[in-house]
């Protein structure tokens, strides 16, 4: 497996049966199974409805406010920077709760559901503002879900990267990163690719890499690890040449 990069502006959206527009940013066979990342846009006259796959899904509301109806009964109000973990088999329908369209990141996880997390149960909700700030070097991150934090199978986090470049490193798990704001470069050994809001990167286990913030503002990234792990867990670290 090799690293892959996609960009929102280069992918044509597909209109769903409820009127939503979906861009498939990643559909890859990871070390632990198939990972699928979608960016979903829901306008005022549309909704987003379906059933979570057997591995469950991790959602993150990038913009807008909505009402999520789960399994035909429970209603959850969500807004910007809300994370959700939907167990496999959860039936959902997301509609707008305001005038602003909803922008949603959806990562479908591989494998079967975890027996300890139920199947088709109630969605678990995490607000980014309520998550503790952790650090690795000069970089800050906040974990919304992960082992021991409502999702045994994977980790969802938001990272803040200040201007500059960190040492090259790798992780023992699949990592999928979506740039929320800022600009930078992803270094992949001797290769590099530019990054901006809407860029998505898939890093397979053991892939040497580092993210460099080449702008003046904080580079904000939304990451998912599978299997779950900490953003501070690194297999190796070397100073950049």
What does the alpha-carbon distance between residue 37 and residue 206 come to, in Å, rounded to a whole number? 20
pLDDT at 239 over 60: no
94 Cβ contact list (under 8 Å, min separation 6): 42, 47, 48, 49, 66, 67, 68, 69, 78, 102, 104
Give the C-alpha separation, 82 to 88, whole Å.
19
pLDDT for the residue numbered 235: 52
Arithmetic mean of pLDDT over the chain? 89
Q: Give the pLDDT confidence score for residue 28 in this predicted structure.
A: 84
Check residues 121 and 55 and name the one with the higher pLDDT.
Answer: 55
Apex CA 121: angle with CA 157 and CA 15, to 5°?
Answer: 70
* pLDDT score at 200: 97
Structure confidence at residue 27 as a pLDDT band (50, 70, 90): very high
Residue 101 pLDDT level (bands cut at 50, 70, 90): very high
Please state the pTM of the whole predicted model: 0.91
Spacing of C-alpha 201 from chain mean position: 11
Token pair of 198, please?
Answer: 């809407």
Give me the domains of the chain, ranges plus CATH numbers: 10-127 (2.60.120.10), 130-229 (2.60.120.10)
Q: Measured between alpha carbons, how far is 23 from 39 in angstroms, rounded to an integer?
A: 5
Report how far residue 31's alpha carbon sits from residue 175's, in angstroms, rounded to the nearest whole number.
10
């Amino acid at each position: 497996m090799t690293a892959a990069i996609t960009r929102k502006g280069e992918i044509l959206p597909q209109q769903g049966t409820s009127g939503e527009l979906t861009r498939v940013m990643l559909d890859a066979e990871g070390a632990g199974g198939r990972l699928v990342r979608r960016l979903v846009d829901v306008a005022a006259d549309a909704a987003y409805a379906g059933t979570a796959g057997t591995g469950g899904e991790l959602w993150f509301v990038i913009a807008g406010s909505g009402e999520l109806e789960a399994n035909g009964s429970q209603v959850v109000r969500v807004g910007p920077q809300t994370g959700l973990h939907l167990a496999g088999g959860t039936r959902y329908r997301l509609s707008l709760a305001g005038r602003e369209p909803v922008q949603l990141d959806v990562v479908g996880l591989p494998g079967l559901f975890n027996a300890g997390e139920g199947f088709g149960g109630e969605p678990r909700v995490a607000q980014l503002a309520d998550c503790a700030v952790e650090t690795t070097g000069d970089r800050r991150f906040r974990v919304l879900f992960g082992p021991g934090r409502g999702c045994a199978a994977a980790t969802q986090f938001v990272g803040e990267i200040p201007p500059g470049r960190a040492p090259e490193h790798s992780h023992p798990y699949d990592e999928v990163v979506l740039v929320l704001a800022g600009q930078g470069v992803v270094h992949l050994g001797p290769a590099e690719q530019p990054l901006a809001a809407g860029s998505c990167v898939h890093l397979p286990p053991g892939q040497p890499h580092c993210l460099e913030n080449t702008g003046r503002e904080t580079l904000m990234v939304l990451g998912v690890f599978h299997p779950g792990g900490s953003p501070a867990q690194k297999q190796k670290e070397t100073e950049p040449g």
